[in-house]
Amino acid sequence: MTSTPSSSSPHRPGAPAGPGTPSALDPGIAARLKRGADGLLPAIAQQYDTGEVLMLGWMDDEALHRTLTTGRCTYWSRSRREYWVKGDTSGHVQWVKSVSLDCDADTVLVKVDQVGAACHTGARTCFDEDVLKAEEGTPGGADSDVPSLDQ
């Protein structure tokens, strides 16, 4: 089941209110999706040519539809309860190269051409600051000054 945000949640005028509202997403795609109780799917953004994992965002049916049809990543902000197009304010655009579902149809992989930083902190990726485990000889590895869980 999906839930609908409260009527007081902010969103762009004329835009659907968010998870649980009708969408123009192809019904064949929508029928395959396994959404969370909040109506959302995790969406992993990955650099298309290097395989670098950039960030994790959240999409409902409408965000996925917009991503598929505009060529730019659209996400649902769980904190602001509104859609946001990556790069509209920062200029750090994600140009969509491909969109895939995982084997369970509960996660979306969006391969993108990232312009600038993907992370809101200004870092290229959201996954390079807090390394919990790394191979020896790599940042965060046994011969590094970056602490690991087993030290």
Residue positions forming the annotated binding site for Zn(2+)? 103, 119, 126
Binding site residue list: 102-104, 106, 119, 126
Binding site residue list for Mg(2+): 102, 104, 106
Cα 91 to Cα 89: distance, rounded to the nearest angstrom: 6
Cα 117 to Cα 113: distance, rounded to the nearest angstrom: 11
Cα 39 to Cα 101: distance, rounded to the nearest angstrom: 16
Strand partners, 95: 72, 113
What is the pairing mode between strands 41-47 and 74-77?
Answer: unpaired
Q: Which of 51, 120, 30, 108 is CA-nearest to residue 84?
A: 120
